[in-house]
Amino acid sequence: YNEIPTGFPEPGKTTVYDTSLTIDLENVPLNGGVLVKTLVLSADPYMRVQMRPVDIESYMPPFIPGQPIFSLGVGKVVRSDRDGFKPEDYVYGLLDHAQYCLANPDAPVFGIRVFVPEPGLRYSAYVGAAGMPGQTSYYGWKEYANAKPGETVFVSGGAGPVGSIVIQLAKRDGLKVIASAGTDEKVKFCKEVGADVAFNYKTTNTLDVLKKEGPLNIYWDNVGGTTLDAAIANAANHARFVECGAISQYNSKEGVNMKNLDQIYARRIILYGFLISDLAPKWEAEFYKIIPKKLASGEIKFSEDITYGLENSGQAIRDVQIGTNTGKKVIVVAQE
């Protein structure tokens, strides 16, 4: 990582793959840590927030210019100097974008942990539907949706790993689901996972759809900006807005001029802003007990969009910001 982007991250400029970084696998001192071989890495929207000056505080630590970037990943333990981790164990947590790294079990957020993949579920799912994005959907929905059968929910970013699981949770709770996504292929996927109404927000007017299909009792917001504005304009009284993310704003310096903020009090809308880390202590055990099994059996559907090779991770990260990913973006670094 070498340069802070002003707009979308640019491979070769803001993210660089450096083959000169090697690690002596036999002799590198572990100092109580764990040496991990990287198998897959995740490219997530929040990584754009980490490309910022190091002295600016935010919810995830900044990337350090000159050092490898890091993201959630699945790896295998090579050597361990820590109880509870042994060679060949699968681990999940923050890993460097490198073939091998000394991973930290004590990181405050997403320190590595050992897991056993559910039979029938590929381990890459543990950075997607069975990992942080799926957890985001499950925790946020359980905690804030207060869903009642027959209500209407709108899910933006409906084809992504977070949105597509929210659609399925909402259908299980008996709601009418409206979903938006940025291509016709993604719209089709929203319908396949259960959305009653799905539309391409680039070719269809969001306000018109919500006016016809609403009012909204719940809005699951993955994108912010003008879509949030349209959802506020079509909210039912006492609607719950689960404020999960605002990807339409991550690469832009100009904010959106919100027109409908006065409707928050007029319609008594409740906005729940949340970070997955706050909710993990309450919901994580239940999530791992229930969701991986349902993913393995196909009862809950998910899709992956694979990029092969660490040298292509910069492009994968950019794809997620621009929206050319179709499903959970996973970077395959090595085979087992």
Residue 314 contacts residue 9 (beta carbons within 8 Å)? yes
> Phi/psi class of residue 115: alpha, beta or left (left: φ > 0; alpha: ψ in -120 to 50)?
beta
Total residues in contact with ligand NDP, by rule CB under 6 A: 30
Letters for 113-152 (x = contact with ligand NDP by CB under 6 A, - = none) are -------------------xx--x----------------
Q: Which helix (H) or strand (E) holds 125?
A: none
Nearer to ligand NDP, 103 or 276 (CB): 276
Residues 6+ apart with CB under 8 A from 103: 33, 34, 35, 36, 75, 91, 93, 94, 95, 96, 112
Q: Residues 159 to 178: which contact ligand NDP by CB under 6 A?
A: 159-163
The tokens 């947590």 sit on which residue?
Answer: 93
Q: How far apart are CA 212 and CA 34, in angstroms?
A: 55
Which one of residues 276, 300, 330, 333 is an interface residue with ligand NDP (CB under 6 A)?
276
The HSE-up count of residue 198 (CA atoms within 13 Å, CB side) is 23
**Closest by Cα among 216, 228, 218 to 142:** 218
- Across 255-288, b (16+ Cβ under 10 Å) vs e yields eeeeebeebbeebebeeeeeebeebbeebeeebe
CB 286 to ligand NDP: min, Å: 17
Which one of residues 34, 35, 36, 45 is an interface residue with ligand NDP (CB under 6 A)?
45
Q: Is 73 in the site for ligand NDP (CB under 6 A)?
A: no
Q: Residues 214 to 253: which contact ligand NDP by CB under 6 A?
A: 222-223, 244-245, 247-248
Q: How far apart are CA 54 and CA 295, in angstroms?
A: 38
CB 255 to ligand NDP: min, Å: 13
Letters for 307-336 (x = contact with ligand NDP by CB under 6 A, - = none) are -------------x--x-x--xx-------
Q: Give the CB-nearest residue to ligand NDP.
A: 160
Applying CB under 6 A, the span of 41-49, 108-116, 191-199, 230-238 interacting with ligand NDP comes to 41-49
**Closest by Cα among 103, 84, 106 to 94:** 103
CB 203 to ligand NDP: min, Å: 12
Q: Where on the chain is the footprint of ligand NDP (CB under 6 A)?
A: 44-46, 132-133, 136, 157, 159-163, 181-183, 186, 222-223, 244-245, 247-248, 274-276, 320, 323, 325, 328-329
